[in-house]
Amino acid sequence: MHRREVRVLLHYSGDSKYSVNALIASLDKHGWGGKLVLARSPEELLDHAVSLASKGFRVIVGLSLMTVQIPRRLSLISRLRELGGRLGLFLVAGGSHPSGDPAGTILSLGFDAALVGEAEEAFPSLLEALEEGLDPYALRGVALRCGDHVFFRGRARPISLDEYSSFPYWRGLMGPIEITRGCVWGCRYCQVTYMHGALMRHRSIGSVLRLAEEFYRRGLRDLRFISPDSFSYGGDGRSIALDKLSELLEKLHALASRHGGRIFFGTFPSEVRPEKVVDDTMRVLKGRVANKAIIFGAQSGSPRILREIRRGHGVEEVLEAAETALKYGFRSDVDFIFGLPGESREDVEASLRLAERLVSMGARIHAHTFIPLPGSPYSEAPPGRIPLWAKKRLYKLIGRGGLYGQWEAQERLARQIHELRAKGLILGAKGWRMLRSTC
């Protein structure tokens, strides 16, 4: 039987750049580069899909999706589904949303396949199976439609970061270097541990330096990193591997200095945990990084809520972190989540008191509203809501220049995501029970 040649069409959108960069690098590594087409807007994606299909290619369309993007991607997804039916497109979703809701991604959003967990090996394997006519149901890490249910054999093996680049610098596409993947803490509102596992995997110093060299050689100046907790570098996530952290920053600093570049570490997107903001780590940071602030999460000022959400630290560590950062000349930007499940008025009061105290110490508060994310233990929780009396206190902090963030937009987003679940577009925990290991 004649098999159509495959073309892989990826949506390279500004808000998914980091994950798509890693995916492009892995597709190039696995030999798919020549068949890859990038579209920078929904219109371009749809145009390319029509044009490639009309040339007789089998078009596999890949979208990277975070749950918070779903409301604004719904129209693109429905246009793709409609086109897919007419042109025979094969629609694949990857990223944190399909990883947390594979059944909903297929049965409700209408994708043909959902990549669950890491895509660097699962996606090329799926492409190979589709092009070669091999059995895609033999693959791990890929959920597939199977009649009126969803087939999933289980997760793929975790990759070694050293085997994959964070961005395809050879294409001139650059971004932050992912130094650590996975998180040991498993906070109940967060998808990271449930998507990437509890074992923290680190990119070796040699690999980080090679990517940093490529970055600076192309004339770029400000290098950033991706990590769930950058002070965990080299360790198990609970303790600090000071020798590794120190060697990494020393060598990066030397490399950056040779190229006239700068390092941003311990700030977005490589925040740290408060209990690791101590003299040892701050001494390593000082003089080596260009950022003037470090970002760490408090999330709540209520000891009861901190225990409930399994943060693994208390309020004291947050205050000590802000004091220690200041001692070394760094401002603290502290993440808070309002509207967490089970929060009482006293808990919100405790968070506001802590936020106000931190601001009076010179810190800034990065405020968020709780969003129930599929794949996290709080996926079924009600959307976060911030009472008016608490909002008034937050506005006052804004007026003092002490608070920023998308907390109001996130409150609306949380409601939208809750509504999508109510309409069955997100299946969440129910969806996991619908997965089958045979087809």
Taking the CA atoms of 44, 50, 53 and 54 in sequence, report the sign of the dihedral they define: negative
Q: What six digits make up the tokens of 320? A: 């000590």
110 vs 405, beta carbon nearer ligand SF4: 405
71 vs 186, beta carbon nearer ligand SF4: 186
Our finding on whether 193 is near ligand SF4 (CB under 6 A) is yes
Q: Which stretch binds ligand SF4 (CB under 6 A): 44-52, 67-75, 85-93, 188-196?
A: 188-196
Residue 117 in contact with residue 196, Cβ under 8 Å? yes
Question: Pick from 143, 183, 205, 403: which binds ligand SF4 (CB under 6 A)?
Answer: 183
What span, in angstroms and rounded, lies between the C-alpha atoms of 34 and 175?
A: 22
Our finding on whether 16 is near ligand SF4 (CB under 6 A) is no
Interface mask toward ligand SF4 for 211-230; x: CB under 6 A: -----------------xx-
Distance of alpha carbon 400 from its chain centroid, rounded? Answer: 31
Nearest approach, Cβ of residue 128 and ligand SF4 (Å):
32
Our finding on whether 197 is near ligand SF4 (CB under 6 A) is no
Q: What six digits make up the tokens of 232? A: 């965990």
Nearest approach, Cβ of residue 279 and ligand SF4 (Å):
22
What span, in angstroms and rounded, lies between the C-alpha atoms of 353 and 165?
A: 43
153 vs 203, beta carbon nearer ligand SF4: 203
Q: Which stretch binds ligand SF4 (CB under 6 A): 65-73, 183-191, 208-216, 430-438?
A: 183-191
Burial (CB < 10 A; 0-12, 13-18, 19+), residue 142, is buried
215 vs 231, beta carbon nearer ligand SF4: 231
Our finding on whether 192 is near ligand SF4 (CB under 6 A) is yes
For residue 143, the tally of other CB atoms under 10 A from its CB is: 27
Our finding on whether 190 is near ligand SF4 (CB under 6 A) is yes
63 vs 321, beta carbon nearer ligand SF4: 321
Interface mask toward ligand SF4 for 249-278; x: CB under 6 A: ------------------------x-----
Q: What six digits make up the tokens of 112? A: 């043909």
How many residues touch ligand SF4 under the rule CB under 6 A: the total is: 10
Our finding on whether 186 is near ligand SF4 (CB under 6 A) is yes
- Cβ neighbors of 423 (< 8 A, separation 6 or more) are none
Q: In 3D, which of 94, 83, 81, 103 has the Cα closest to residue 125?
A: 94
Unique residue bearing structure tokens 């010179």: 362
Nearest approach, Cβ of residue 272 and ligand SF4 (Å):
10
CA 17-11-79 angle, to 5 degrees, is: 140
247 vs 335, beta carbon nearer ligand SF4: 335
Our finding on whether 372 is near ligand SF4 (CB under 6 A) is no
Residue 126 in contact with residue 142, Cβ under 8 Å? yes
Nearest approach, Cβ of residue 276 and ligand SF4 (Å):
11
125 vs 299, beta carbon nearer ligand SF4: 299
Q: In 3D, which of 417, 419, 335, 434 has the Cα closest to residue 65?
A: 417
How many CA atoms, within 13 angstroms, populate the side-chain half-sphere of residue 24?
Answer: 25
How many CA atoms, within 13 angstroms, populate the side-chain half-sphere of residue 135?
Answer: 9
Question: Pick from 9, 63, 66, 187: which binds ligand SF4 (CB under 6 A)?
Answer: 187
Question: Pick from 57, 151, 185, 215: which binds ligand SF4 (CB under 6 A)?
Answer: 185
83 vs 187, beta carbon nearer ligand SF4: 187
261 vs 377, beta carbon nearer ligand SF4: 377
What span, in angstroms and rounded, lies between the C-alpha atoms of 107 and 312?
A: 36
Nearest approach, Cβ of residue 354 and ligand SF4 (Å):
17
Q: What six digits make up the tokens of 287? A: 């003089």
Nearest approach, Cβ of residue 45 and ligand SF4 (Å):
30
**Is the backbone peptide bond immediately before 269 cis, with ω within 30 degrees of 0?**
yes
* Interface ranges with ligand SF4 (CB under 6 A): 183, 185-187, 190, 192-193, 228-229, 273
